[in-house]
């Protein structure tokens, strides 16, 4: 953790993460108006004393909509990535450790899923399931599962050949124990890096779906929703787009940099575990 903070990118990323968590938790305390409170007298205003970021086409406070939108957006993207991690890792573990037949079957399924661009997949599935926040989360999760499955599978295959696995079997360790106690902890590091890289993608896809109207449904606040409304009324007031985009950019950049910093810190540690050379 310390090493991540040492890197400038890491610091920024951690800062973004902390800020988001604070916003998530303190949402009611840092906003003056509820996100759906309409004030038709003050529609599409710019930044001002009453509304620091301005208002949208129904007079709702933009700051408030973005703050509460954090809960919604992260509330979809976060669990989606977490689910993808859990399911993907499990599938990858089974594919790598189990029989060849299992492996081939799983890899084929993953290939099929990955052959669709995520957004297209999401649109198709949501069209079938009907637009909703919960289904959006499921769809995003499904799109990301193959990434985790692939990495887990590759790592599992490599680890399976290492002496410590044979040593554990010689002691009588069952498959479950080997997978959970000895293999999973080795997978979490690299997978965490993937999570940090996937979150911005998930958020972006989520925002895109909301923008298109197939994710979170209005009047629930969401970043994509703010962007969509801002887009529609851009000639009267640019501020919806401005603040919506800025939020997305900052968050996406933050997580991406965090992911890179994590990956850089992880490399020397991985090298040490695999026994790279020191002065001799």
- Say if CB 28 and CB 75 are below 8 A apart: no
Distance CA 8, CA 94 (A): 38
Q: Does 171 bind other proteins (CB under 8 A)?
A: yes
| Cα–Cα separations (whole angstroms), residue 163 to 158, 160, 167, 170, 276 | 11, 8, 6, 10, 17
**Bridge partners for 55 per DSSP:** 61
Among 33, 51, 35, smallest CA distance to 43 is for 51
Q: Does 249 bind other proteins (CB under 8 A)?
A: no
Q: Determine which residue in the list 82, 154, 157, 173 makes contact with other proteins, applying CB under 8 A.
A: 173
Q: Does 130 bind other proteins (CB under 8 A)?
A: no
Q: Does 172 bind other proteins (CB under 8 A)?
A: yes
What would the DSSP string read from start to end of 22-42?
A: HHHHHHHHH-SS-TT---GGG
Indicate the residue among 29 and 280 with the shorter CB distance to other proteins: 280
Q: Determine which residue in the list 115, 170, 176, 235 makes contact with other proteins, applying CB under 8 A.
A: 170
Q: Does 21 bind other proteins (CB under 8 A)?
A: no
- Say if CB 23 and CB 12 are below 8 A apart: no
Q: How far is the CB of 106 from other proteins (least distance, A)?
A: 22
Q: How far is the CB of 155 from other proteins (least distance, A)?
A: 12
Distance CA 170, CA 163 (A): 10
Q: Which helix (H) or strand (E) holds 90?
A: helix 62-97
Indicate the residue among 136 and 178 with the shorter CB distance to other proteins: 178
Contact letters for other proteins, residues 42-61 (x by CB under 8 A)? --------------------
Q: Does 186 bind other proteins (CB under 8 A)?
A: yes
Distance CA 57, CA 32 (A): 18
Distance CA 71, CA 73 (A): 6
What DSSP state is assigned to residue 61?
Answer: B
Q: Determine which residue in the list 1, 49, 128, 280 makes contact with other proteins, applying CB under 8 A.
A: 280
Indicate the residue among 49 and 170 with the shorter CB distance to other proteins: 170
Indicate the residue among 79 and 98 with the shorter CB distance to other proteins: 98
Q: Does 104 bind other proteins (CB under 8 A)?
A: no
Q: Determine which residue in the list 124, 134, 164, 175 makes contact with other proteins, applying CB under 8 A.
A: 164
Q: Does 163 bind other proteins (CB under 8 A)?
A: yes
What DSSP state is assigned to residue 181?
Answer: I
Q: Which stretch binds other proteins (CB under 8 A): 108-116, 121-129, 162-170, 258-266?
A: 162-170
Q: Does 18 bind other proteins (CB under 8 A)?
A: no
Tokens of 163: 């002496």
Tokens of 114: 């990955």
Q: Does 264 bind other proteins (CB under 8 A)?
A: no
What DSSP state is assigned to residue 216?
Answer: S
Residues that bind other proteins (CB under 8 A): 162-164, 166-174, 177, 181-182, 185-186, 272-273, 275, 278-280
């Amino acid at each position: 953790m310390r090493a991540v903070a040492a890197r400038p990118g890491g610091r920024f990323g951690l800062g973004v993460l902390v800020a988001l968590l604070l916003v998530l938790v303190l949402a009611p305390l840092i906003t003056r108006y509820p996100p759906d409170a309409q004030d038709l007298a003050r529609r599409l205003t710019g930044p001002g004393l009453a509304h620091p970021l301005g208002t949208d086409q129904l007079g709702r406070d933009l700051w408030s909509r973005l703050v509460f939108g954090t809960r919604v957006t992260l509330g979809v993207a976060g669990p989606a990535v977490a689910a993808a991690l859990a399911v993907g890792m499990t599938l990858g573990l089974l594919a790598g450790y189990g029989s060849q037949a299992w492996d081939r079957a799983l890899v084929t399924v993953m290939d099929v899923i990955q052959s669709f661009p995520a957004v297209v997949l999401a649109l198709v599935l949501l069209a079938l399931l009907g637009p909703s926040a919960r289904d959006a989360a499921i769809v995003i999760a499904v799109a990301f599962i193959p990434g985790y499955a692939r990495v887990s599978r590759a790592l599992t295959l490599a680890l399976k050949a290492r002496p410590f696995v044979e040593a554990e079997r010689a002691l009588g360790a069952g498959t479950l124990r080997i997978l959970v106690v000895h293999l999973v902890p080795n997978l979490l590091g690299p997978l965490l890096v993937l999570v940090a890289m996937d979150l911005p993608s998930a958020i972006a896809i989520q925002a895109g779906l909301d923008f298109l109207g197939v994710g979170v449904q209005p009047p629930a606040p969401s970043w994509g929703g703010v962007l969509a409304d801002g887009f529609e009324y851009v000639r009267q007031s640019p501020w919806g787009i401005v603040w919506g985009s800025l939020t997305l950019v900052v968050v996406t950049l933050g997580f991406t940099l965090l992911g890179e910093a994590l990956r850089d810190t992880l490399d020397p540690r991985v090298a040490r575990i695999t026994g790279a050379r020191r002065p001799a």
